[in-house]
């Protein structure tokens, strides 16, 4: 029989706890982000009732349309953010995992100044230097931190990565370790704290936790395989602004 959401959540909790124990970390250092992208509000609502408290979406408009149809939760944006969607994003998300351009950081600073929103911000790093992937290079991330510090408003809290998919999760360990080491050296260079490391997805989160992850982003492990026909909000005059 198919496992239920709460069985899958309990299994993920156990594996996170075991990985914390193996690496001498406290379970409270790791946030489980339930990745709800493509799932309809009924499924998401059920997940929230079963105990998912932090939700991850990768598209601003999808999340903005879905959130009002669900019980309250802490919504995180795990996908990239374009600068023209910053204002919309700040109306929902407490945490932005994947900021990948200085333009967006500057737009964030401007909107924060106007609205008083203060999301936690992580910078995405392209750890394997893949030409098709989002994210700063290790040199680029330094420029981004400099730009953010100059503007002051942006609350930088850490780094995020999405390494290439590997059938063996151990193959991702060097990528996760590299992100942690980059974080450590940036903290020293800039004299700032970057406590958050968003790394690890369904296939490799135990390894990521062992390497210091503070945010694991779990979709498939909790909800099963995503449907090819993703949930789409119905268009209405009210929701047109989600599609700018």
Residue 198 to residue 179: CA distance in whole angstroms = 10
**Using CB under 6 A, which of the segments 125-133, 140-148, 207-215, 219-227 binds ligand PLP?**
219-227
Report the nearest approach of ligand PLP to the CB of residue 204 (Å).
9
Tell me the backbone φ, ψ of residue 18, rounded to 5 degrees.
Answer: -65, -40
Q: Is 227 in the site for ligand PLP (CB under 6 A)?
A: no
Residue 183 to residue 143: CA distance in whole angstroms = 14
The footprint of ligand PLP on this chain (CB under 6 A) covers a number of residues equal to 14
Taking the least distance from each CB to ligand PLP, the nearer of 151 and 173 is 173
Q: Is 36 in the site for ligand PLP (CB under 6 A)?
A: no
Task: Report how far apart, in Å, the C-alpha atoms of 236 and of each of 16, 86, 233, 241 are.
Answer: 41, 21, 9, 10
Taking the least distance from each CB to ligand PLP, the nearer of 130 and 150 is 130
CB-side exposure of 1: number of CA atoms within 13 Å? 5
Give the nearest residue (CB) to ligand PLP.
Answer: 219
Among 19, 122, 162, 194, binds ligand PLP (CB under 6 A): 162
Site for ligand PLP, residues 83 to 142, rule: CB under 6 A: none
Q: Is 163 in the site for ligand PLP (CB under 6 A)?
A: no
Residue 81 to residue 104: CA distance in whole angstroms = 7
Contact in structure between 44 and 62 (CB atoms under 8 Å): no
Among 8, 87, 215, 217, binds ligand PLP (CB under 6 A): 217
Residue 17 to residue 28: CA distance in whole angstroms = 9
Report the nearest approach of ligand PLP to the CB of residue 203 (Å).
6
Q: Is 218 in the site for ligand PLP (CB under 6 A)?
A: yes
Tell me the backbone φ, ψ of residue 33, rounded to 5 degrees.
Answer: -100, 115
The residues, ordered by sequence, that sit 6+ positions from 45 with a Cβ below 8 Å of its Cβ are: 69, 70, 71
Report the nearest approach of ligand PLP to the CB of residue 212 (Å).
17
**73 DSSP assignment:** -
Q: Is 58 in the site for ligand PLP (CB under 6 A)?
A: yes
Among 220, 230, 235, 244, binds ligand PLP (CB under 6 A): 220
Among 37, 59, 85, 180, binds ligand PLP (CB under 6 A): 37
Contact in structure between 182 and 199 (CB atoms under 8 Å): no
Q: Is 47 in the site for ligand PLP (CB under 6 A)?
A: no
Indicate the length of the chain as a whole number.
244
Summarize as ranges the residues that interact with ligand PLP (CB under 6 A): 35, 37, 58, 78-79, 162, 201-203, 217-221
């Amino acid at each position: 029989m198919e496992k239920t959401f709460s069985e899958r959540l309990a299994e993920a909790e156990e594996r996170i706890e075991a990985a914390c124990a193996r690496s001498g970390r406290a379970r409270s250092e790791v946030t489980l982000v339930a990745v709800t992208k493509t799932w309809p509000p009924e499924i998401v609502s059920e997940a929230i009732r079963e105990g998912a408290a932090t939700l991850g979406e990768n598209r601003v408009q999808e999340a903005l349309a879905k959130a009002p149809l669900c019980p309250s939760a802490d919504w995180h944006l795990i996908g990239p953010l374009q600068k023209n969607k910053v204002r919309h994003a700040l109306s929902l998300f407490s945490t932005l995992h994947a900021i990948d351009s200085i333009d967006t950081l500057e737009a964030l600073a401007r909107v924060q100044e106007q609205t008083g929103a203060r999301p936690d911000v992580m910078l995405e790093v392209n750890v394997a230097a893949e030409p098709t992937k989002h994210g700063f290079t290790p040199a680029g991330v330094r420029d981004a931190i400099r730009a953010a510090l100059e503007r002051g408003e942006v609350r930088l809290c850490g780094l995020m990565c999405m390494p290439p998919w590997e059938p063996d999760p151990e193959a991702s360990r060097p990528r996760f370790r590299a992100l942690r080491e980059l974080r450590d050296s940036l903290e020293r260079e800039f004299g700032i704290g970057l406590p958050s490391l968003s790394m690890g997805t369904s296939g490799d989160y135990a390894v990521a936790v062992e390497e210091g992850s503070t945010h694991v982003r779990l979709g498939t492990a909790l909800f099963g395989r995503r449907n090819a026909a993703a949930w789409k909000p119905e268009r209405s005059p009210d929701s047109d602004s989600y599609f700018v």
